[in-house]
A and B are shown apart, each in its own frame.
Chain A
Amino acid sequence: MYDILIVGAGIVGCFLAHDLSKKELKVAVFDREADVANKATMANSAIIHSGHDPLDNTLKAKLNVRGNEMYESICKDLGVSFKRTSAFVAATSMEEEDTLDMLYQQTKNRNIPVMYLTKEEAIKKEPNLSDHVTKVIELPTTGIVYPWEVAIALAEEASENNVDFYLNEQVEKIKKTQKGFEVITSKGNYEAKIIINAAGVCSDKIYGKVSSKVDFEITPRKGEYFVLDKLKKPLVSRVIYPVPSSAGKGVLVVPTTHGNVLLGPNSEMVDSGELNNNTKDSLDYVKKEIHKTVKNIPMDKVIHSFAGVRPTSTRHDFIIEEAKDVTDFINVAGIESPGLASAPAISEYVINEILSKKIRMNEKNMYTKRRPNIKLKEMTEEEKNELVKKNPAFGKIVCRCEQITEGEIIDAIRRPLGATTVKGIKKRVRPGMGRCQGGFCEPLVVDILARERKISPLEVRLDGDNSVMLMEETKE
């Protein structure tokens, strides 16, 4: 019997699992995906927004501001990257300037640092700001993270502290019982006292498994992006937002923690959370809109495009509450933007405002910190050579674009909750994330994964169970 069973191993599920692993509780996390952080957490703008733009009196506004305050120390603690880059909101017309003024006032009222810049000041800071830009506000508390790195680190530490992760396992039925719940998955039966529904685009369906009075609906919204190669001279050093409109935050230019740039997203309602495909129309839209705020964008340096689906809800705010009709079933749903930025605050809110009133939460005496990833790139030459002497695999570069060694890849597989798929390795240590997109290193990664897991290369998967890589051996 689990005390708490979390459905969904996205950024929210991972924060909850991590934070609850510090308590004397039996906690489990279920996800139908092959890895944690595999859906919306894998495909978003990667920004820790300041909290400037959600509407007043929403959970979004409250938890975004709080989340932004929390992130830096959490990331430091986990040994993952966080960079407070600051951000511009750039207006390009009189009309937009009016909205910008309103935004400035709203931000000021929330006690979030914000300042007006003249066009000259703005261009001095961001030389590639478009000539169309007429007025700018700067939001210095804005930051960036590597979203799945954060989620994976949280999950690893949770796993080290006895949270059970069930991946590749779909929740099929949930029955309310006298003691709590019985959960039937694609692989087994489990019992839990409390269920937290953090199932992202599926959260209405998961709620529907235990209730006939589901009081929200997820209306998935897709956003598509381009990724630019690392440039010799950075295109931007801050997040550049256009002035938001009814359609959302607009098409952004975002520096990433690894020196790439994200361009996007558009925003399109789709029928299902599964529809994370790229379409030509959307990519063309991003390509057109992106020049509104930033110039000199080298589109020939695009190395990748992707799409993410956000779980927008019909209530247009985060839904964080116990289900009205099912005791001990807690919905954490509709976590669209600024979900990533709010995630630590969401977890804190769920624990303090809801769980603490339901279950005793004693702090564990023993808590194991996660061992940070070995990042050769951040070491001195002496440190690296020390490592190579101990283990020659750290002298074997597998990914030339990102300069990732075999040793780092093996570490990513052997860690707690380690990578089991090619995508899992890519998410943890980045081979294949560079300009050749795995053309050179993917066969090497397949080879290492097969060797480490003692399986045939034919059994290695890109991601889910059906995503085989190689079809057959010749001459057999």
Chain B
Amino acid sequence: MTKKEMACIVCPMSCHLEVTLDDNNNMIEVIGNTCKRGEVYAKSELKNPVRMLTSTVKLEGGLYKRLPVITSVNIPKDKLFDVMKEINKIEVCAPIKVGDIIISDVCGLHADIVASRSVERTDGDNRTESNTCNSK
């Protein structure tokens, strides 16, 4: 039996987990987690670590030149760079709605790459323009 300390990465609470393992590296017990997800995380981290991936894709017609994107679900940690290659090929045009699917089923991982913000279409150089809005 061995004990292992790990930081839970599920949320910014960063719970300090103490995992007890048997001789085959199977988890017997976890303490220190403040929610159920900590236990799920510990189990997965030992066998098949997964991560959310966030990056950007090229964007035309928006206020900025990049659109932030995120994986719809966790993907295997060792596939991060493969997915980055796919993300780097994409170029999108505004308008974009948060949650829009940018790449579906990326690398056959059953995860989509989705827009993590909305972008309005802004034609031309908007950089020196001032918008005074009363939003109603």
Give bound CA distance, A245 to B66, whole Å.
59
Q: How large is the interface on A (under 10, 10 to 19, 20 to 34, 35 or more residues)?
A: under 10
Chain A residues with CB under 8 Å of B57's CB are 475
Tell which of A63-71, A188-196, A278-286, A388-396 binds the partner. A388-396
Q: Are A396 and B58 in contact, with the CB atoms below 8 A?
A: no
Q: Does any Cβ of A come within 8 Å of B44's Cβ? A: no
Which residue of the partner chain B has the closest CB to A393?
B128
For A392, list chain B residues within 8 Å (CB).
Answer: 128, 130
Q: Are A396 and B56 in contact (CB under 8 A)?
A: no
B88 in contact (CB, < 8 A): yes
Interface status of A131 (Cβ within 8 A of chain B): no
Q: Let me know if B127 is at the binding interface, CB within 8 A.
A: yes
| Complex alpha-carbon distance, A332 and B57, angstroms | 57
Judging by beta carbons under 8 Å apart, are B128 and A474 in contact?
no
Q: How far is the CB of B111 from chain A (nearest CB, A)?
A: 20
Query: A393: which B residues are within 8 A, CB to CB?
Result: 128
Is B66 a contact of A474 with CB atoms below 8 Å? yes
| A475-B91 Cα distance, complex, nearest whole Å | 9
**What is the interface residue range for chain B against chain A?**
under 10
Instruction: Check if B130 sits within 8 Å of A395, measured CB to CB.
Output: yes
Whether B56 pairs with A474 at a CB distance below 8 angstroms is yes
Residues in chain A near residue B130, CB distance under 8 A:
392, 395-396
| CB of B85 to closest CB in A, whole Å | 11
Distance, CA A392 to CA B132, complexed state (A): 14
Q: How far is the CA of A447 from the CA of B88 in the complex (A)?
A: 24
- Nearest B residue to A396 by beta-carbon distance? B128
What 0/1 readout, one digit per residue, does chain B (79-102) give for beta carbons within 8 Å of chain A?
000000000100100000000000
Q: How far is the CB of B125 from chain A (nearest CB, A)?
A: 9
How far does the alpha carbon of A36 sit from the alpha carbon of B91 in the complex, in Å? Answer: 43
CA distance A475 to B102 in the complex (A): 15
Q: Which residues of A contact B91 (CB under 8 A)?
A: 475
- A406 on interface, CB distance cutoff 8 Å: yes
Q: How far is the CB of B25 from chain A (nearest CB, A)?
A: 38
Which of B56, B66, B88, B128 is within 8 Å of A406, CB to CB?
Answer: B128
Measured CA separation A396–B91 after assembly (Å): 31
Q: Which residues of the partner chain B approach A395 to less than 8 Å between Cβ atoms?
A: 130
Bound-state Cα–Cα, A395 to B66, Å: 27
- Give chain A interface residues in 394-423, CB to chain B under 8 Å: 395-396, 406
Tell me, in angstroms, the Cα distance from A396 to B131 when the chains sit together. Answer: 12
CB contacts under 8 Å to B, within A151-210, are none
B56 CB to closest chain A CB (Å) equals: 7
Roughly how many angstroms separate A78 CA and B88 CA in the complex, as a whole number?
53
CA of A455 to CA of B75, assembled, Å: 40
A45, B103: Cα distance in complex, Å: 59
**Complex interface residues of chain B between 91 and 126 (CB less than 8 A to chain A):** 91
Q: A474-B66, A475-B88 are in contact. Are A447 and B127 (CB under 8 A)?
A: yes
Q: List 13 A-B contacts (CB under 8 A).
A: A392-B128, A393-B128, A395-B130, A396-B128, A396-B130, A447-B127, A474-B56, A474-B66, A474-B88, A475-B56, A475-B58, A475-B66, A475-B88
3 closest Cβ pairs, A-B complex: A475-B88, A475-B58, A393-B128
* Known A393-B128, A447-B127, A475-B91; 14 more pairs at CB < 8 Å: A392-B128, A392-B130, A395-B130, A396-B128, A396-B130, A406-B128, A474-B56, A474-B66, A474-B88, A475-B56, A475-B57, A475-B58, A475-B66, A475-B88
